[in-house]
Amino acid sequence: MPIVKVAWLLGLLSTLPWSEAAMAQAATTPARPPNIVFVLIDDAGFSDFGAYGGEIATPNIDAIARSGVRFTNFHTASTCEASRVMLHSGVDNHRAGAGTLQVVIANNQKGKPGYEGHLSDQAHSLGQLLRDGGYATYFAGKWNIGNGLERSPGARGWDRYIGLEQTGADNYEAKVYAPFNLEPVWWEDGRRAQLPADFFSTRHYVDKMIRYVDEGRAGGKPFFSLISLQAVHSPLQAPQADIEKYLQRYEAGWDRVRAERYQRQVQMGLMPAGLQLPQAPNRRSWDSLSDAQKRAYAKRMAVYAGMLDNADQHIGRFREHLRKTGELDNTVFIVMSDNGADAYDLANLNLPFKVWYRLNYALSYDTLGAKGSYVHYGQEWAEVSNTPLALFKGSSAEGGMRVPFVISYPGRLPAGGVSHKFAYATDFLPTVLEIAGIALPGDEYGGKKPHRPTGTSLLPHLQGKTAHIHAASEAIGFESTGGQALFMGEHKLMRNAAPLGDGQWHLHRLAQDPAEATDLMHKEPELAKTMLAEIERYNALNGVVLPEPGYNAFRQLLTNNWEILLRQLGAIVTTALALLLGLVYLLARWWRRRSGRHASA
């Protein structure tokens, strides 16, 4: 039997109940509930971690994967806000208040229930549940599920925190990364945070988390730490030493790197052999680029790799600190990405955005990745990040929704496991609560009746008690930014609005076709009919408001942010005009004086 088929079969076998020896090892019960560390990477693709076939150095994330279980079929929402509210609440993103990404919210969705753009008051908060259950709760990083102190992490159950309230920001200074806001805002323990002069986002957030854990140790409680990194969200920025490691690595181009990643995935038993790697619209081959373009794009990917490499180093630094303080062996680690890789280079979106970026950031080759620079790695490298999946963040294709997810639980989970079973973002909260020994809340909680979590704990599957997480008949729906999906058993029904799709429904069997190459809509009409009925039921139950016909997320982005863009450019244009008028005035005075001297002569 070919070696790739053996690897694939071994991967499939790892989804079955664990061996008796492994379960005997896992029977040890810790003296107290375990600490839980959740590291949320921003916009990392399915294949970026070494444990998922990537060539980027992520030894610390890979060590977590080796000591625990990797999921190959874990899904989130396709955008950050929707994913984060589901992870925090355990319910669908509409019920949790983030029906769509606010910067592209359609006109007919504005002001509607479920589209508030923050973690709903009718939804649970993971921080509150853990704190009420006896945990010390710490948050550091990108919050993005509520603006203002009244919706900061402290208002939703986090004891200590520093949180960036927006979808992103510069990594070196208090500076917006796009013309979506007038200023970035960080909240820290009940007040506006001031960034240090040597700020770098990843290092700063891990420094804060180490401090929170150390200062809270005297309380004797187990801790829940959520480290929500800005890496690898744009702008891609990293220390020069980390970028330099990869300057030559990507000169071979995206076609070759993608093929190499897929081959490693097959050898690791993560993906079936024989897949035809999908190609996104307007994709360019590496050989079609000029030498100058190849050089520039190779460095862009080097910056991306350096940023993820750097993030992994700081994850390792935190783990080492826990080891030195005796906490590591009683700490659960969970690492995942919030959605698929980001393909959208805002600096080239249109003329106003081009002007804004050129006025606010350095874009030259020599500065890429440094303080003051802006770089995005582009659609083709995003395809590499998502190997072997189709499309990207913002789409309901697998490249937007399927993400790496690793979990380790010393003494309770066997090492080196791989699960190919479908799991979803709403499963996260029930899993964490079961690990912590905290009961799922009833219908009433804190004098209210919040939406009851709908996900399923992963723990029985992880411990080999169940072969599946969700029943084959269970339908799990999703909608955001005009993209829709419904998962049922091994099948997925999905459609995407323009420009990411044709607006038509497509049916795929993910176990054999994770690249979504074969459409089964006409081959399995009865199943398609059943799933179409389920998506309508999902829409009705969750208050889904589909964007009006003709909706285009990129056009809507400009419509929604035009006022802020004008205000930001307006100040710059006004200053430039004032300087120009001043120069004209000075030249006029000089000319009159010169003319006067000539006349008197």
CB within 8 Å of 136: residues ≥ 6 apart? 159, 160, 216, 219, 221, 222, 223, 224
Question: How sure is the predictor about 19, in pLDDT bands with cuts at 50, 70 and 90?
Answer: very low
- Position 502 pLDDT exceeds 70: yes
Least confident of 162-171, 437-446, 456-465, 577-586: 577-586
Give the number of other CB atoms < 10 A from CB of residue 13. Answer: 10
Least confident of 187-191, 203-207, 550-554: 550-554
Q: Which residue is listed with tokens 């997480």?
A: 469
Give residue 273's pLDDT.
Answer: 96
Q: What is the pLDDT of residues 324-369, one digit of tens each?
A: 999 999 999 999 999 999 999 999 988 888 989 999 999 999 999 9
Strand ranges of the sheet holding 506-509, from the earlier edge strand across to the other edge:
475-480, 483-488, 491-495, 506-509
Least confident of 61-70, 411-420, 566-575: 566-575
Give residue 29's pLDDT.
Answer: 46
Q: Calculate the average pLDDT of the chain.
A: 92
Question: How sure is the predictor about 187, in pLDDT bands with cuts at 50, 70 and 90?
Answer: very high
Give residue 224's pLDDT.
Answer: 98
- Position 372 pLDDT exceeds 50: yes
Give the number of other CB atoms < 10 A from CB of residue 112. Answer: 16
Which residue has better confidence, 550 or 135?
135
Give residue 594's pLDDT.
Answer: 73
Give residue 599's pLDDT.
Answer: 58
Residues 47-58: what's their mean pLDDT? 98
Give residue 601's pLDDT.
Answer: 55
Question: How sure is the predictor about 165, in pLDDT bands with cuts at 50, 70 and 90?
Answer: very high
Residues 4-24: what's their mean pLDDT? 43
Question: Which SS3 state, helix, strand or coil, does residue 283 take?
Answer: coil
- Position 257 pLDDT exceeds 70: yes
Closest C-alpha among 406, 433, 334, 426 to residue 127:
433
d(CA 388, CA 271): 8
Residues 51-74: what's their mean pLDDT? 98
Signed CA dihedral, 410, 413, 417, 419: sign only: negative
Give residue 351's pLDDT.
Answer: 87
Percentage with pLDDT > 90 across the chain: 80
Give residue 600's pLDDT.
Answer: 58
Give residue 596's pLDDT.
Answer: 65
Q: Label residues 51-78 b or e (16+ Cβ within 10 Å = b).
A: bbbbbbbbebbbbbbebbbbbbbbbbbb
Which residue has better confidence, 499 or 126?
126
Give residue 410's pLDDT.
Answer: 86
d(CA 231, CA 59): 16
Question: Which SS3 state, helix, strand or coil, does residue 137 take?
Answer: strand
Q: What is the pLDDT of residues 283-338, one digit of tens each?
A: 999 999 999 999 999 999 999 999 999 999 999 999 999 999 999 999 999 999 99
Percentage with pLDDT > 70 across the chain: 92
Partner residues linked to 405 by β-bridges: 71, 336
Residues 504-524: what's their mean pLDDT? 96
Q: What is the pLDDT of residues 129-160, one digit of tens each?
A: 999 999 999 999 999 999 999 999 999 999 99
Overall pTM surpassing 0.85 (yes/no): yes
Residues 193-221: what's their mean pLDDT? 97
Going from the C-alpha of 30 to that of each of 26, 176, 433, 457, 580, the distances in angstroms are: 11, 44, 16, 20, 71
- Position 26 pLDDT exceeds 80: no
